[in-house]
Structure 1
Amino acid sequence: MLTKETVVVEDTCHTWEDVVFKAGELLKNTGAIEESYITAMVESIEKNGPYMVIAPGIALLHARPEDGVNEACMSLYVLKNGVSFGHKDKDPVTLAFAFGAVDAQSHLQALQQLMELFNDEVRLTKLKNSENVEEALVLLNDL
């Protein structure tokens, strides 16, 4: 699911809202989600706090399928300096994965592969330190 069109390595985000918007835009640009899905991700964090920060330095951004998902999808924003989501133990976020699922089953394989990545400290550290999209994709494609 992660391709050259859906992975970015840079430091142009300064707030968690920027991160959510830009990671969502990658998916919107492929036609996989609607603008309403990005809005729903932001509103979910505003309402529920930084629960999407699932591990130190890692956010898994999402909303409900009915919020505007057209097809199962995922994007990754690698943030060189990290961004605070307001999580006292797991900030700053340096890897922001955004994903959309059309139903409860369609994203399970992608999430399983992400769990493999999250359990591989060496690969995860290399991904966090990626200098460009190509380098990040090599690490992701080895999963």
Structure 2
Amino acid sequence: MLIDLITESSIELAVNAEDWEEAVRKGGELLERSGAVENRYIDAMINMVKEIGPYVVISKGMAFPHARPEDGVLRTGMSLITLKEAVKFGDEEYDPIKLIISFCSTDSEGHLNALSELVDFLRDEEAIKNVINAKCKSEVIKIMKKVV
């Protein structure tokens, strides 16, 4: 379940990031601190965007960086960061980005319930706006619990 993956320890608000790469790195560092990934997974997320382009930008103002399980995933995890200042990923339709939900999974199926809940959450524009403007981590959790 989404709420089991995004906890207060995997959330950071009003994060400073100079560019999309630093923003992805900061989200990945939360995954690493939680024990969900090895450090090399962070570089893999960045390299995926460099190789494929801004495919991780999935809706207005929001990105969902991830990489392959073999790139250093230890267990399924998610982190959520909001940025103090939005950054551009190079997606003309949805830039600039202010919300980043980083993701890792050990396989291609075990996380489907969490992703389904994430889709429901992303459809709620008001909830996304409230998360982006949240002042504390518990507020983010409360918003998410209402939606999923």
TM-score by length of 2: 0.92
Instruction: Choose which of 30, 52, 57 in structure 1 pairs with 2:56.
Output: 52
Higher-helix-fraction structure: 2
Q: Secondary structure at the match of 2:138?
A: helix
Q: CA RMSD in A?
A: 1.0
Corresponding residue for residue 122 of structure 1: 126
Q: Is the 8 A contact 1:80 1:129 kept in 2?
A: no
1:15 has 2:16 as partner: no
Q: How far off its partner does 1:107 sit?
A: 1.3
Q: Which runs of 5+ in 2 are unaligned?
A: none
Percent identical pairs in the alignment equals 37
Q: Is the 8 A contact 2:17 2:85 kept in 1?
A: no
Structure-to-structure mapping, 1:1-143, within 5 angstroms: 1-142=5-146, 143=148
Aligned partners of 1:12, 1:19: CA distance in 2, in Å?
Answer: 8
Aligned partners of 2:81, 2:141: CA distance in 1, in Å?
Answer: 12
Q: Which runs of 5+ in 1 are unaligned?
A: none
Q: Secondary structure at the match of 1:39?
A: helix
Q: How far off its partner does 1:29 sit?
A: 0.5
Q: Secondary structure at the match of 1:63?
A: coil
Aligned partners of 1:30, 1:75: CA distance in 2, in Å?
Answer: 9
Q: CA deviation digits over 1:46-89, x for unaligned, max 9?
A: 11111100111110110000000000100001113311111111
Q: How far off its partner does 1:27 sit?
A: 0.6
Q: How far off its partner does 1:11 sit?
A: 3.4
Aligned partners of 1:72, 1:115: CA distance in 2, in Å?
Answer: 17
How many residues align? The count is 143
Q: How far off its partner does 1:141 sit?
A: 2.5
The ranges of structure 1 where at least 4 consecutive aligned residues each deviate by more than 4 angstroms after the TM superposition are none
TM-score by length of 1: 0.95
User: Measured at CA, do residues 48 and 106 of structure 1 come closer, stay the same or move farther in structure 2, by a change above 3 Å?
Assistant: same
